Structure 1
Amino acid sequence: MKKLSIIICAALVSLSSQAFAHGDGHSVMEADAAVKLAQTSAKMLSFKDHGMSVGKIDDSWSQVAKSEFVLSEQAKDGFIIKGYNAKIGQTLYFTIDKSGQVKTVEESKKFNKSHGHAH
């Protein structure tokens, strides 16, 4: 079991450069890819604080299915993806720009205040 955890952690770390790095400017992210990136980001944040306002999130986020991540808003400059963790009753919002950079990850209470309207 420990070996499996190490393999999963290593895979997530290798994805971290894509999930939290600035895009190269050559490609434009699509909504489906943004949803998948939000799920990957949640898994990464369940292992380590990556400097987002939510910090390190509950370990149960690593088990949340892709179907629990949905496109909440799409604008010309990016996406807002809503993720819901039924196990702990927590909703997170992932703001992802068109280049594939995760800009913010916020809890629903804080997100509604900073974003200006409720989702």
Structure 2
Amino acid sequence: MNAENRVDFTQVDVLPILPSLNFSQTRQFYIEKLGFEAVENLCEEYMSVRRDSLELHFWNCQDPTLSESSSVFFRSENVWQLYDDFDKRGVELTRHVDEFDRPIDKFHVRDPHGNLLLFGRRLGPPSA
């Protein structure tokens, strides 16, 4: 990174836009299974859900290969609290392991259309 042109990204929100094959199924999964809440949508071709500071947007898609190939990665210090919450809600979770079959600080969920939601522990600050 060029030290002379530093930009402060600490106040930037990143809002992934994932494909949805069916808004009703997507909304139901994210609200009932993952504990999100619906966000008012301004058009029929777009929808959003939010859970605390996690916010996902969806566009209406007709190609299942796009949703099966899409993903988003969330990092948090509280990743295992989220894991426990999802587990209690009956969400099918996959916990990642290393080459020695030891658990690592990552797990993932697939939504009904194949979008991959990967959750991991937030890493320390970047090295200078």
**Bigger radius of gyration, 1 or 2?**
2
Higher helix residue share: 1
User: What is the TM-score of this pair, normalised by structure 2?
Assistant: 0.25
User: What is the TM-score of this pair, normalised by structure 1?
Assistant: 0.27
